[in-house]
Amino acid sequence: MLSYRHAFHAGNHADVLKHLILLQIAQYMGEKPAAFWVIDTHAGAGRYALDSAQANKLAEWRDGVGRLWDAKSLPPAAVDYLDFVKMLNPDGQLRHYPGSPWLAGQLLRDSDRLRLFELHSTDIQYLQDCFKGAGRKVQIANSDGFAGLKALLPPPPRRALVLIDPSYETKPDYANLIKAMQEALKRFATGTYAIWYPMLSKIESRQLPGRLKGLGAKNWLHATLEVSAPSPDGIGMYGSGMFIINPPWTLEKTLHETLPALTSLLAQGPGAKYTLESEGD
C-alpha cells in the first residue's frame, strides 16, 4: 500500500521475530560456498532513525528491540540479532534500527546478490541512499514486488532466500501473496521463502497460515509470537508469524531455544505465547 510507512513500526516485536529469523536463514545459506540471492519484495527504507517523528509517534520499538537491548542471558540467536543492531549503534545508544535489506546486505559475499522492491516514493529514496556505492551486488526497483518476483525466478545460482512482508493493510495483499507464492513455487520450488504476516482479528489474517500450508510445499516451518491475547474489540496486532518454506534444517531447533525467552521478554499482557510447528524432513 502506497501510504504505508514502516518507520512508524520499526523495531517492534514483529520486527524482532522477522529479523532474527531472517538472519538465521541468511547466515546458514552463507555457510556454503555456492552463491545465493536475497530477494526482498517489500523492502521499505532500509534502515530507520528511532528518534524520528515517525518512530516516536507510536514508539513501538520500546516494547520490541528496546526490551532486548540491555537484557541479560539471552539465547544465542537473540544475541546474534542484537549484534547486528549494535553495528548501527556503535556508541551503545539505541538510536537506529536496521531493516531487512540492510541486514541482508551485511551478509553478502562478492558472489551474492540482493534484489529489492519498494513502491513508496519517499522510502525508495531512502533505500537508494542506504545502498549508495553498493554496485552491481544490489539492485533496487521502484515497482511492485509481487509482480517483480516472478521475473527473477529461478535466480541464476539456483539458491535464494525470498522475504515477503507486505503491509497487509488491504485485502488484496492476502490474495496477491497466495498468487505470487503459487507462481513462485512453480518456477523455483527449491527456494527458501520467508513470509511474515501480522496476527489480527480479521478473518484474512486468521486464515492465512492455513492457506500457506495448502500451497503444497513438502517442507515448511511456522513460528508465531503473540505478545498478548487478542483485544476484545478486535482492534490491533497482538502478534505476528513467520511461515518458512524450505527452511534450514537448523532453524527449528534454534527457535525452540529462542522463542520462550522472546515471549517472556516481549509480553505486553496476559495471553502472551508462541507456537512452532513444522512439516517435512
Question: What residue ranges do the domains of the chain occupy?
Answer: 6-279
Residue type, 216: G
pLDDT tens-digit readout, 99-115: 999 999 999 999 999 99
Angstrom distance (rounded) from CA 136 to CA 219: 32
Residue type, 125: Q
4 has pLDDT over 70 = no
Q: What is the mean pLDDT of residues 175-180?
A: 97
In this structure, what are the phi and psi dihedrals at residue 245, rounded to the nearest 5 degrees?
A: -95, 130
pLDDT tens-digit readout, 105-163: 999 999 999 999 999 989 999 999 999 988 889 999 999 999 999 999 999 999 999 99
pLDDT tens-digit readout, 32-53: 999 999 999 999 999 999 988 8
The mean-pLDDT minimum among 3-7, 9-13, 65-69 falls in 3-7
Neighbouring residues of 89: CB distance < 8 A, sequence distance ≥ 6: 95, 96
pLDDT tens-digit readout, 257-278: 999 999 999 999 999 999 999 9
1 has pLDDT over 50 = no
Q: In what order do the strands lie in the sheet with 37-40?
A: 138-141, 113-117, 37-40, 160-164, 192-199, 239-245, 220-226, 273-279
Query: Which among 15, 40, 63, 165 is annotated as catalytic?
Result: 165
Residue 83 catalytic?
no
Neighbouring residues of 52: CB distance < 8 A, sequence distance ≥ 6: 7
Residues 124 and 118 sit within 8 Å (Cβ to Cβ): yes
193 has pLDDT over 90 = yes
Residues 11 and 230 sit within 8 Å (Cβ to Cβ): no
Quick one: fold of 6-279?
Rossmann fold (3.40.50)
Q: How far apart are the first and last CA of the chain?
A: 36
